[in-house]
Structure formats: structure tokens, C-alpha cells
């Protein structure tokens, strides 16, 4: 799945919807306290590749540890389909939960295990 294409995604109830343009390659399975409990599979894109189509007013955020990532949840259904933060070079990025992309076969993804617990 390394061809660049536009994927649609969102939360469980459909209030939050977005499009993201990317080559869906490896996704990260992180063992930090947040990701391990939520089961997220993350891929990171420049903020310019992400378009929030609906649900901005239904999002609430949660920050922990260094407070550097804005973990966004749908206040209706509680699903975290994406987060906002900065890349190591300081540029804005979006962390997309691949489990929330429409039509993705999670079993077909290449999963990279990340030791976020040690950060």
C-alpha cells in the first residue's frame, strides 16, 4: 500500500470525518500508556496532507507527558482517529490512526513496534 492516494476516515459515530493523502506504508504500534490501551496504529503525515471535513466542534483534546501532542477525541463516541503535533524538525504533523481509515484491512498493514514507553 505504498502508492500515494487519498483516504477518508473518521470516528465511529461519523461526526468527525477527514481526508488524508499519503502512501500508507508502515504503521506504528506504540507501547506507551496511551497507545497500548487504545490499540492505535499510527502513521504520520505533514499537516498539509490532512483535511478535516467535519466534526471540529465535536473534538476534545487530551494531553499528557510532555503535552506536545494534541490527542483529539470525538466527544460523542470517544474515538481518537487522529492527533496533532510537530515532526522532529518542528513542522506541523498529523498522526492518523490507520484503524480509523475507511476500507483498510489492518491485517495487511506492515506494523512497526515502537517503544514509546521509554520516552
CATH of residue 36: 2.170.150.70
What grid cell was written down for 107? 491485517
Quick check: 33 pLDDT over 90?
Answer: no
pLDDT band at residue 114 under the 50/70/90 scheme: confident
Quick check: 1 pLDDT over 60?
Answer: no
What grid cell was written down for 20? 488524508
Number of folded domains in the chain? Answer: 1
Asked whether 54 and 16 are in contact (CB, 8 A), the reply is yes
Quick check: 17 pLDDT over 70?
Answer: yes
Q: Residue 22: beta bridge partners? A: 5
What is the longest distance spanned by two Cα atoms in the chain?
A: 35
> Can you give the residue range of the structural domain that contains 62?
4-118
Question: Using one digit for the tens of pLDDT, what is the confidence trace for 45-101?
Answer: 999 999 999 999 999 988 776 667 888 999 999 999 999 999 889 999 999 999 999
Amino acid at each position: 500500500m505504498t502508492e500515494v492516494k487519498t483516504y477518508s476516515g473518521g470516528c465511529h459515530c461519523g461526526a468527525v470525518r477527514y481526508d488524508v493523502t499519503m502512501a500508507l506504508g508502515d504503521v506504528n504500534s506504540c507501547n506507551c500508556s496511551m497507545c497500548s490501551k487504545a490499540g492505535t496504529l499510527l502513521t504520520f503525515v505533514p499537516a498539509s496532507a490532512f483535511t478535516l471535513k467535519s466534526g471540529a466542534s465535536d473534538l476534545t483534546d487530551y494531553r499528557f507527558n510532555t503535552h506536545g501532542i494534541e490527542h483529539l477525541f470525538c466527544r460523542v463516541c470517544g474515538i481518537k482517529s487522529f492527533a496533532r503535533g510537530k515532526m522532529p524538525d518542528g513542522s506541523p504533523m498529523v498522526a492518523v490512526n490507520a484503524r480509523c481509515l475507511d476500507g483498510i484491512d489492518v491485517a495487511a498493514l506492515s506494523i512497526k513496534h515502537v517503544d514509546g514507553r521509554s520516552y
